[in-house]
Amino acid sequence: MKVIVIGSGISGATSAALLAKEGHSVIVYEQHEKIGGITATIEQDGYRWDWGQMIVPDLSDNEPGRLVLEKLGISEKIKTIKGYRENYFPDFRIRKPQKFKGIYWRKEYFKELFPEDAKGIDKYYKIYNRIHDLTGLFNKPGLLAKLKLFLKFLPIMGKKNWSAQQLMDYCFSNKKLQAVFIGILADYVASPEVFPGLIIPIINAESQYDERVPLDYGKHEHRSSWTFIENGCIELINAIVGVITKCGGKIITNMAVSKILIESGKGKGVITSDGKVHEADVVVASGGAKELFLDLIEAKYLPNDFINTYINNLFTTESVFMVHLGVDYDPSVHQNGAALCYYYLTYDINESIKECQKGIYHEGKDGFLVYIPSVHSPNMAPPGHHAVTVYTIAPNNLINGNWEDKKEEWSEKLLDIAEKHVPGLREHTKTKIILTPEDFKNRTYLKHHAFGGTVPHLTIPPPPHKSPIEGLWFVGAQSETYGGVIGGMTGADNVVKMMLKEMNSKTTKQTFKSFSK
Ligand SMILES: Cc1cc2nc3c(=O)[nH]c(=O)nc-3n(C[C@H](O)[C@H](O)[C@H](O)COP(=O)(O)OP(=O)(O)OC[C@H]3O[C@@H](n4cnc5c(N)ncnc54)[C@H](O)[C@@H]3O)c2cc1C
């Protein structure tokens, strides 16, 4: 089968590698001069920073991401380091205790801080355990697992359509405590009114805040690990791309796909930016849903229902404003040695989200994060130096001004605020790169950069992998609910399985037909 893959980010690359390994003829077109999409690494003056991802779930032994690497035969090439993050709020800091105080040290800490909500905290952690058991069971095959899944789900079935805000109001009265659990929604730029409540425990996994929290304990199902990828995500991309080329696949950079050819409802191939036509049996597209279905295809080839449900309503995250610094000191001493710390400077998360959705950039006042990858991967900076990323969420399109004119001023403002928590950043700067939403748009070929892809939403589903056009499959962060790196990999794996199943059933039907003639 001849396959064309659009995009060499984690989802496109994984799809291409899996198909090439199955013996299919694969060609990947990448519009950018470099491979990797948002999983690429930027280098300058001996420092290296990732464009995006910091900490990833599900990449430890027997977890879904690791199983994909094993399938590709590259597991030994990808090393992970158990990670955690600190969270700072204006009145308190959630910092792992020096001596491990057990799985639920955060729960006890919150009870000390918010004694009036002690009962609610217990209620939350009961739901927490149930949800994590459900996720563990969800990944398990077999009838018994399905039965257990159903029985576990029954007691919380009535809460399945709760919003994050409903869950918060059910558990906690104190808005500051609510912010601890819904603060992460700032990343999603999704209001707690529309974000599914039962996803809150998943995105607030206790193991994210202390790498010593065990993943297997008691009668509970396995909890996902959270790790940093040693030497950055480019290691992952390089290993996956190695499989594509080893299996005879090709990657063409600096080559955008500008049209998908359709004949009688079937994808026939693509036209690339040099005007050439390339035929294929199957096209696997990554990137933006609107860009794919409205520009590369055009709505007239698609059912109205599909456009209305998935494309007109598409709900994605916004972008980020990012400053990478190379520094000649160790800034992690100001965050207890943590490679990653989120600094929330407001408790009114919903208000910040609304402002961002309106195109108002908060200029750093609502919060930011500091990520120092060289803490876990010293090779990412010269000896004794560190690579530092300071970033925050930001709207794609500003209601007043444009990113190019504002970027210098806003990088200074962001660093002014960051230095209140991590002193010395500017004094020790040896090199600097500012990335605005415009840079992210160019890197990803999106008109609206969505740093986390589609957002979990109570009523709006992400576009499906199998498109209404025969032979056209959609992978990537805008086809998963909040893709992430591992979501991109496992999503690609699922798509390839579906494609191969479909192909095999067609072959069986054809063979049967020719036998019966
Ligand atoms: C700042 C930031 C922080 C993040 N933090 C985390 C984190 O901590 N953990 C985590 O798991 N995830 C994180 N993510 C999300 C994660 O990185 C993304 O969800 C994932 O990498 C997206 O992969 P993708 O393959 O779907 O898309 P992309 O990486 O965008 O790849 C798509 C590729 O397709 C190419 N392309 C698109 N259209 C065309 C076309 N028509 N022709 C040719 N080429 C085309 C693009 O150039 C691009 O290379 C973060 C992302 C960002 C930006």
Please give the structure tokens belonging to residue 441: 């748009």
Give residue 481's pLDDT band: very low, low, confident or very high (50, 70, 90): confident
Side chain identity at 472, as an amino acid letter?
L
Tens of pLDDT, residue by residue over 106-129, are 999 999 999 999 999 999 999 999
Neighbours of 55 (CB within 10 A): 20
Q: Which residue has the tokens 């036998």?
A: 515
3-state secondary structure of 195: coil
Are 182 and 353 spatial neighbours (Cβ–Cβ below 8 Å)?
no
Mean pLDDT to the nearest integer, 480-490: 88
Dihedral, CA of residue 203, residue 205, residue 206 and residue 211, to nearest 10: -100
Phi (first) and psi of residue 46, to 5 degrees: 85, 0
Which protein residue's CA is at the shortest distance from atom 42 of ligand 1? Answer: 256
Which protein residue's CA is at the shortest distance from atom 3 of ligand 1? Answer: 52
Report the separation in Å between the CA atom of 36 and the middle of ligand 1, taken as the mean of its atom positions: 8
Question: Which candidate, 376, 355, 372, 373, places its Cα nearest to that of 364?
Answer: 355
Which domains does the chain carry?
Answer: 2-43+230-315+452-513 (3.50.50.60), 118-225 (no CATH), 319-444 (3.30.70)
Q: Where are the alpha helices (DSSP H) in 95-142?
A: 105-113, 118-138
pTM above 0.75, yes or no: yes
Burial, 76: exposed, middle or buried (Cβ in 10 Å; 0-12, 13-18, 19+)?
A: exposed
User: Mutation test of ligand 1: which of 28, 53, 371 has the most ligand atoms closer than 8 Å to its C-beta?
Assistant: 53
Tens of pLDDT, residue by residue over 168-179, are 999 999 999 999
Sign of CA pseudo-dihedral 140, 145, 148, 154: positive
Residue 516 reports pLDDT greater than 80: no
CA distance 380 to 43: 9
Which protein residue's CA is at the shortest distance from atom 13 of ligand 1? Answer: 53
Neighbours of 481 (CB within 10 A): 19
Nearby residues of 122 by Cβ (< 8 Å), 6 or more positions away: 107
Element (H, E) at 87: strand 86-89
Side chain identity at 58, as an amino acid letter?
D
User: Mutation test of ligand 1: which of 286, 370, 448 has the most ligand atoms closer than 8 Å to its C-beta?
Assistant: 286
Please give the structure tokens belonging to residue 415: 């660093």
Tens of pLDDT, residue by residue over 271-304, are 999 999 999 999 999 999 999 999 999 899 999 9
Residue ranges lining ligand 1, Cβ < 6 Å:
6-12, 29-32, 37-39, 52-56, 256-257, 286-287, 320, 444-445, 451-453, 476-477, 483-486, 488
Please give the structure tokens belonging to residue 46: 């001996």
Residue 310 has a pLDDT of: 95
